[in-house]
Copies of this chain bind each other. A is one copy, B any other.
Amino acid sequence: MFIEQKTILNLQPIKQCVRVTFNYDVHFTRGLFELNNPLLAQVIAADQQTTAKQVVTVIDGGLLQYQSKLLEKLSVYAQHYENIFTLSGEPIIVPGGETVKNDSRFIEQIHQRINICGLCRHSYVLAIGGGAVLDMAGYAATTAHRGIRLLRVPTTVLAQNDSGVGVKNGINAFGKKNFLGTFMPPYAVLNDFDFLTTLDERDWRSGIAEAVKVALIKDGDFFDFIMNYADKLGKRDMEIMEQLIYRCSQLHLEHIAGSGDPFEMGSSRPLDFGHWAAHKLEYLTNYSLRHGEAVAIGIALDSTYSYLAGLLLQSEWQRILGTLNKLGFTLYVSALTEQLDQPDHPHCLFRGLTEFREHLGGELTITLLQGIGQGIEVHQVDLSLYRKAILMLRDWE
Contact = CB atoms under 8 A, between A and B. Distances in A.
Nearest to A176: B115
Contacts of A263: 20, 146-147
A18 B262 contact: yes
A240 interface: no
User: How many chain copies?
Assistant: 2
B6 A36 contact: yes
Interface in A204-222: none
A147 B169 CA distance: 12
Given A11-B242, A143-B182, A120 B16 contact: no
A263 B146 CA distance: 9
Interface string A185-205: 100000001000000000000
Given A17-B22, A19-B19, A264 B120 contact: no
A246 B11 contact: yes
Contacts of A30: 8-9
Instruction: Give chain A's interface secondary structure class.
Output: mixed
A15 to B, nearest CB: 6
| Size bracket, chain A contacts | 35 or more
B9 A15 contact: no
Contact of A20 (B36, B121, B262, B354): B262
A159 B354 CA distance: 37
A21 B143 CA distance: 20
Contacts of A165: 14, 16
A64 to B, nearest CB: 23
7 contacts: A3-B42, A16-B25, A16-B165, A20-B20, A111-B180, A115-B173, A119-B358
Interface of A: 1, 3-6, 8-9, 11, 13-31, 36-39, 41-42, 45, 49, 83-84, 111-112, 115, 118-123, 142-148, 165, 167-168, 170, 173-174, 176, 178-183, 185, 193, 242, 246, 249-250, 253, 256-257, 262-265, 267, 354, 357-363
